[in-house]
Amino acid sequence: PVAMNRMNVLRKVLIAAGILAVILFVCIALLAANLGQSASESFRSSYHYDLTISTSGPIEDAVLLIPLPSRYDPKTGANVTPLDLSRASFSHFDRDNISVTIEHVDDIPMLNISADRIDPVYRNRITPIPIMPGQNESELPKPTQIYSNRYSEETPVLVEMELYVPGTGPDHEIDTRTPIGTEPLLAPYRIVGNLSSSGGPTDGYYVSPGSSGYIIEVPFILSFDAADDENVLAVSCGFLGTNQWWVLGWQSNSYHEMVRHEFTGPCNGTYPARGILVTGEGVY
């Protein structure tokens, strides 16, 4: 009888374990299906372009042709950009006097920023106001922003003019690992080197360890007069292509480019500038 009872107990334990295993398998399968559905339903791909410009002094008769992302479209036989300037947002741009358009140069879209005169933007320093314990932040005086088109002791901080453009959403998953030849890139470009996987400072840029990608070179076509031979025009542009989806939180992968350069004095010609293309960042 004792052996029989042990066999019955063992059989019940095995049956219970089997039932638990089946329940666990079903739960895992349902969870995987729900996560897969969640990822599929929330999946989105997008492009983003940003540009900052600052000039230490006024420049005149200015025409700035700046690289835009584009790719060759075999369907149309032309280079196309995913950017639509009607969706652009501007900060500190004198939109009444500065024209911003897309112009094709040798069949490649470039950003044309032109004006009879582009003045710098300076502002005052904002001194942080300490908040005492128990003090209501809304009761503190609001800082006053003072702007000027010239440097002074009152307005010593040079302000960047900013442009941000969200790209037209692609109808495909972005190839963030190998975007060359398949995705928009700042153009025209030339690959001049590879990024080191060890990371660190690379050609004036900081690269995260383990990153892969290339050192690129793109042209800026500039024409303007500057009264000061030491005038500095600083230009920085970047482009990001990213895929995002939701699985117990937002996940993503991306590729991005960044190019920045400082131009001294008056300019009239084509000026190559180096930047980086970082690929395969994120979760796969």
Residue 213 lies in a domain: yes
DSSP 152-189: -SSS-EE--EEEEEEPPPPSS----SS-TTTS-EEES-
Residue 176 lies in a domain: yes
Residue 81 lies in a domain: yes
- What pLDDT, on the 0 to 100 scale, is given for residue 1? 60
The total of structural domains in the chain comes to: 2
My answer on whether 99 and 180 are in the same domain is yes
Encoded amino acid at 75, one letter:
K
My answer on whether 29 and 108 are in the same domain is no
Encoded amino acid at 184, one letter:
P
Asked if 252 and 282 touch (Cβ cutoff 8 Å), the reply is yes
Residue 197 lies in a domain: yes
My answer on whether 165 and 34 are in the same domain is no
My answer on whether 31 and 169 are in the same domain is no
10-residue mean pLDDT series, the chain (284 residues): 61 67 60 54 92 98 98 92 95 96 96 98 87 75 88 96 90 94 96 87 81 94 95 97 91 95 97 96 90
My answer on whether 31 and 102 are in the same domain is no
Element spanning 36, H or E = helix 2-42
Residue 97 lies in a domain: yes
Among residues 148, 50, 40, the alpha carbon closest in space to that of 90 is found at 50
> Measured between alpha carbons, how far is 277 from 132 in angstroms, rounded to an integer?
46
My answer on whether 187 and 202 are in the same domain is yes
- What pLDDT, on the 0 to 100 scale, is given for residue 200? 81
Task: For tokens 């960044």, name the residue.
Answer: 258
Q: Which residues contact 262 (CB under 8 A, 6 or more apart)?
A: 232, 233, 234, 235
CB atoms under 10 Å from CB of 246, counted, come to: 14
- The encoded tokens of residue 82 equal 């995913």
Residue 6 Cα distances to 20, 161, 274, angstroms: 21, 82, 78
My answer on whether 198 and 168 are in the same domain is yes
Q: Which residues contact 33 (CB under 8 A, 6 or more apart)?
A: none
Strand partners, 151: none
- What pLDDT, on the 0 to 100 scale, is given for residue 35? 47
My answer on whether 72 and 107 are in the same domain is yes
My answer on whether 14 and 71 are in the same domain is no
My answer on whether 233 and 168 are in the same domain is yes
Among residues 251, 257, 253, 259, the alpha carbon closest in space to that of 278 is found at 257
Q: Is 5 helix (H, G, I), strand (E, B) or coil?
A: helix
Domain that holds residue 6: 1-42
Residue 143 lies in a domain: no
My answer on whether 1 and 116 are in the same domain is no
Among residues 99, 102, 43, 45, the alpha carbon closest in space to that of 70 is found at 102
My answer on whether 79 and 22 are in the same domain is no
Among residues 84, 44, 55, the alpha carbon closest in space to that of 68 is found at 84
Residue 100 lies in a domain: yes
- What pLDDT, on the 0 to 100 scale, is given for residue 209? 83
Residue 151 lies in a domain: no
